[in-house]
Structure 1
């Protein structure tokens, strides 16, 4: 059976570290702790006193002062690994952790998973060919030498870089090394760790090279493991679930993320908030539990983005110059059908087209596959359509040689509605209000990636009210905007009531509007 030696790098919160060590070693696993030498001496004394009698815990002999982006992080890891290899000869796997990590599966599940998957788990993507680095330096991290800390010695860091660049003092990457990059949170087998340690003693040239690279914790182990281990024995992924914001900062999980975390196809997660006491309690109990079956749905990233992104609704970037200085035309009339149930709006649009012979376009700002004429490339992507929305609409009016055009939009497109409503042309908005059953909302959650086929009923029950409230909020925003020429059809209204609304919206005779409104399957799901 797998026996894990956890490699823990930490620098704060001694109480949490003690609990983490006691929890993870209670199932027969081990832990090697490196506590940052620059951290509180009192905190370190508290940790060593609490854990000194635990035979499954060892501390690194030499503590390092660690700094972000420095070699010190790699050296601290190597020191902890060497201590673990020596102290725990029965350890089969070595798992890299931080003090902010917690298990999101039981020890039983974790051991069985590693027994069934005899691989090294480490992200290792080609440094130059992959897109792992989104912005900033790439080649500069390697070909120049970096002796100073970019955060604490910024002036020296950039002065030294500028000097090397002016003098052309670049260096070669060791010729037999193909640099890789990836997350520092890995899980490696014992034979791999032993090969890595032997490599560090044998290849002094490679060690010298990495000691002065920038952010080597993202490249050192990733490169060496790929250099030493056959590709079919490596799984290029981490077993630790982590997410980053748009600004590259790690996201933090709180008490209400328990169901989200345990449903992910990972063994650990970071970062767990120090204030998430209930989440830590539940995960702690889970780790020691027996016979737990996990339903892996893996919708965590899209669900987290959905929940956290709700706070940004309503924000709008400044209007672009081509929007403020252009117009659809004073004599033109843009008719917008707004509906959350796209299939309902498409039925209405089809009936309108047949009844009025007006040109109609479905969700052109929401569905990239919406049929559009060739307009010189502006229609190719949703991003282009949205960015150049007035120009796009003006070209569509010209293409169809009409002064009246009907389009569909989602209620979430509030900024587009405001923009078109502010144009010098006439804009009419027809909102179609539909009823949303729990079955429909569950299907919607699956379609947009907030849930999967294996998502539990309990998790669905927790997110459905949020989705329903979101849809209600979108509709309320539209009504609160008090658009001129706004009308609303309702699923629970009579065909005659809806016909009156349609007649006014389309400016057609009441009998033609009734022919559209009385379609018996109009609101069917």
Structure 2
């Protein structure tokens, strides 16, 4: 059975470190603790004194003063790893942690997970070919030597790069290494760790190279493991759940994230707020529990992006200016049906075709599978349809030899609506307002990938108000746009109340409009 030696790098919260060590070792695992030499000596002495009688805890022979982005973080890791390898001969895996990490699965689950496959878990993407680095310097991390910390001595950091560039002091990457990059939170098998340590002992040239690279904790282990271990035995992922904001800052978890964290396909999470006492207590008790059944839904990243974007779309940034194509034509009339429940809009379009004979197209710019005639390839993809939307509409009118065309569009596509309303053609908009039950919104969240069948009810309960508001917000944006010829049908209205707006929208008589509005299955979910 797997036995884990945790490699814990920490610099604060001595009480939390003590609790973490006691919790992890209580389940039969081990821990090697490196406490930053920059931190208070009395805090380290308290940690060591409290844990001195625990045989499953070890400390490196010396402490290193650590700095973000510096070699010191790798040096501290290697010191802790060497101490763990020597002290815990029964350890089968070595797992990197920080003081902000907490388990989100039981030890029982973690051991079974690691026993399942004979592999290492470490992110390792090609340094030069991947887009893992989003901002800041890239190649300069490697080809120049870095003696100054960018955070504390910014001018010297960038000036030294400039000096080396001017003097032609760029260096080469070790010829036999393919530099890789990834998260520093890895889990490696014992034989891999032993191979890495042996490599460090026999390759001083590689050690010298990484000592002066920038942010080596994202490249050192990632490169060496990929150099030593067959690709088939590496899973390019971390087992620690972490998310970052658009500004590169880690997302912090609080007390109300418990169910969300447990449903993610990871063993630990980072980073847990120091103030989240209840969350830490619950996760701490979880690790030593047995017989717990986890429902893995793994929607954390998607949920975060969705919730963040709610404050951005149409608010933080101005709407996109779509390219302008030639006019659809003054003599033509476009009728746009918008409805969040696509099946309702499709049924209406189908009834319009049947009752009036008017050409009506389903979600032209939202569904690639929408049936369309062959128009020379312009209709082949959603990207082409959107890019050449006016030309597409003209060609559809020409194909059906009509001056009237109805098509459906999602309420979120207000930029497309604005573009069509700016055309010389006569444009009308019919907004169908539907009722949304919790069950329907849950199904919607699953259909668009925000949730799954395994998403905990507690997570769904917190997500539902945001989804419901999102639907309301889209309707408000349409109203605020002030479109002319904007008509509304409502699920809550009677057939007679819906007949008038529908007749004006379609430009047909009341009798035909009433026949369409009276469709008994129109609003059935």
TM-score under structure 2 length normalisation: 0.88
Matched, 1:71 2:71: yes
Shift of 1:325: 11
Which secondary structure state, in structure 1, belongs to the residue aligned with residue 9 of structure 2? Answer: strand
CA distance in 2, matches of 1:378, 1:210: 52
Matched, 1:400 2:434: no
Check 1:321–1:121 CA distance in 2 against 1; reply closer, same or farther (3 A cut).
Answer: closer
Deviations 1:74-119 (A, max 9, x none): 1111111112222222222111001111100011211222223332
Kindly indicate whether the alpha-carbon contact (under 8 Å) linking 2:326 and 2:391 is maintained by their aligned counterparts in 1. Answer: no
CA distance in 2, matches of 1:10, 1:403: 71
Kindly indicate whether the alpha-carbon contact (under 8 Å) linking 2:260 and 2:456 is maintained by their aligned counterparts in 1. Answer: no
Shift of 1:466: 4.0
Check 1:370–1:151 CA distance in 2 against 1; reply closer, same or farther (3 A cut).
Answer: farther
Q: Which residue of 1 aligns with 2:242?
A: 242
Which secondary structure state, in structure 1, belongs to the residue aligned with residue 302 of structure 2? Answer: helix
Greater shift after overlay, 438-447 or 46-55?
46-55
CA distance in 1, matches of 2:316, 2:365: 16
Deviations 1:12-67 (A, max 9, x none): 22232222222212212221111222233443344334333433222222222222
Check 1:379–1:138 CA distance in 2 against 1; reply closer, same or farther (3 A cut).
Answer: farther
Greater shift after overlay, 145-154 or 96-105?
145-154
Shift of 1:442: 2.8
Check 1:112–1:44 CA distance in 2 against 1; reply closer, same or farther (3 A cut).
Answer: same
Q: Which residue of 2 aligns with 1:36?
A: 36
Check 1:319–1:445 CA distance in 2 against 1; reply closer, same or farther (3 A cut).
Answer: closer
Q: Which residue of 2 aligns with 1:81?
A: 81
Question: Structure 1: which 5+ residue stretches go unaligned?
Answer: none
Q: Which residue of 2 aligns with 1:475?
A: 475
Check 1:51–1:444 CA distance in 2 against 1; reply closer, same or farther (3 A cut).
Answer: same
CA distance in 1, matches of 2:37, 2:326: 62
Matched, 1:130 2:130: yes
Kindly indicate whether the alpha-carbon contact (under 8 Å) linking 1:397 and 1:403 is maintained by their aligned counterparts in 2. Answer: no
Q: Which residue of 2 aligns with 1:513?
A: 513
CA distance in 2, matches of 1:169, 1:379: 55
Question: Structure 2: which 5+ residue stretches go unaligned?
Answer: none
Shift of 1:324: 9.4
Q: Which residue of 1 aligns with 2:185?
A: 185
Check 1:39–1:109 CA distance in 2 against 1; reply closer, same or farther (3 A cut).
Answer: same
Check 1:319–1:491 CA distance in 2 against 1; reply closer, same or farther (3 A cut).
Answer: closer
Which secondary structure state, in structure 2, belongs to the residue aligned with residue 7 of structure 1? Answer: strand
Shift of 1:193: 1.1
Q: Which residue of 2 aligns with 1:14?
A: 14
CA distance in 1, matches of 2:461, 2:172: 57
CA distance in 2, matches of 1:385, 1:38: 59
Check 1:230–1:441 CA distance in 2 against 1; reply closer, same or farther (3 A cut).
Answer: same
Q: Which residue of 2 aligns with 1:52?
A: 52
Within 5 Å, give how 1:385-464 maps onto structure 2: 392-393=389-390, 396-397=393-394, 400=397, 404-417=404-417, 427-464=427-464
Shift of 1:127: 2.5
Deviations 1:154-173 (A, max 9, x none): 22222222222233322222
Q: Which residue of 1 aligns with 2:349?
A: 349
Greater shift after overlay, 484-493 or 174-183?
484-493
TM-score under structure 1 length normalisation: 0.88
Shift of 1:187: 0.7
Kindly indicate whether the alpha-carbon contact (under 8 Å) linking 2:328 and 2:393 is maintained by their aligned counterparts in 1. Answer: no
Greater shift after overlay, 181-190 or 60-69?
60-69
